[in-house]
Amino acid sequence: MSFRNQSFNRLPEPAKKSKAPLIIGIIIAVIVVIAIVVVIIILLTRGSTTTPPPTPTPTPPIALICTTDSDCAGAEVCNTTLNICVECVDNTTCDGETPICKTLSGNCVECVGDGDCPGSEVCTTSGVCVKCINNGDCLENETCSGGLCVCPVPVVPLLTVVHYVGGGVQVSWNAVTGATAYNFIVDNPPGDPAPATQYTVNGVVGTSTTLVDTGNLIPIWCHGDTLGARIQAVSPCGNSIFSARKNVDNLQDVPCS
């Protein structure tokens, strides 16, 4: 029996399964995992950067509430407008060094205005009388420091030359900050009753001044006497400072008359 010429019906091939659902499922799973990780990171980050709540500021003690003076302790009186106990409501409860009532704060002070202060003193915002609040309250060339008008003291001057020159003394010094005038002081020899002789000169840097003998120094400058000199630097407002004493050199041995 020959089957060569016979035909057979082939069975249909089974349908291929689609991969799309699997891919979609994987994508959804990945998205879910990523979302979970992001949420965890946000929660952890928020927990580490959250600023702790500020420490509450202690509430200052409230003044004792009152309706009459009898509701207050000690010498305090009742401010019936605010219904609180204060040191004063007018000048009648203030005395001594603080005779004025500062009604806004309810305490006794030395002053509330310049008119409450003696002389030319001024009143500070805290109710204290002082000589000055700024330089404008002081005299010319003075400065205000700590409520006082201060006259600056010049820098100590330096004598560079004190030299005897035929009947007089030549003195040189350096001008210093804060000084506008200089006094040259000649000290008499030890034990001499005569007063020191003072000369007033105007000094600038490198000034040399020859002071001519006035007629009463020559008898003193004799036979080895030691004469000394100092420079006094004077500020515009009157404060002064002295240099160190320096002996006059080259003092001639003049016979005493």
From the CB of residue 224, how many other CB atoms can be counted at a distance below 10 Å?
A: 8
Q: What 8-state DSSP symbol labels residue 136? A: G
Lowest average pLDDT, out of 101-110, 169-178, 220-229, goes to 220-229
Share of the chain above pLDDT 70, in %: 61
pLDDT at 240 over 80: yes
Q: Please name the amino acid found at residue 235.
A: S
User: Which pLDDT score, from 0 to 100, does residue 216 have?
Assistant: 46
What pLDDT does 180 receive?
80
Residue 118 CA to residue 150 CA, distance in Å, equals 19
pLDDT (0 to 100) of residue 219: 43
Residue written as token pair 């009604």 = 103
**Segment of 5-9, 215-219, 233-237 carrying the highest mean pLDDT:** 233-237
The pLDDT of residue 31 is above 70: yes
What end-to-end distance do the CA atoms of the chain give, in Å? 183
Q: Is the pTM of this model over 0.85?
A: no
Is pLDDT of 17 > 60?
A: no
Helix (H/G/I), strand (E/B), else coil: 236: coil
More confident of the two residues 238 and 108: 108
**CATH number listed for the domain at residues 158-247:** 2.60.40.10
Domain ranges of the chain: 69-150, 158-247
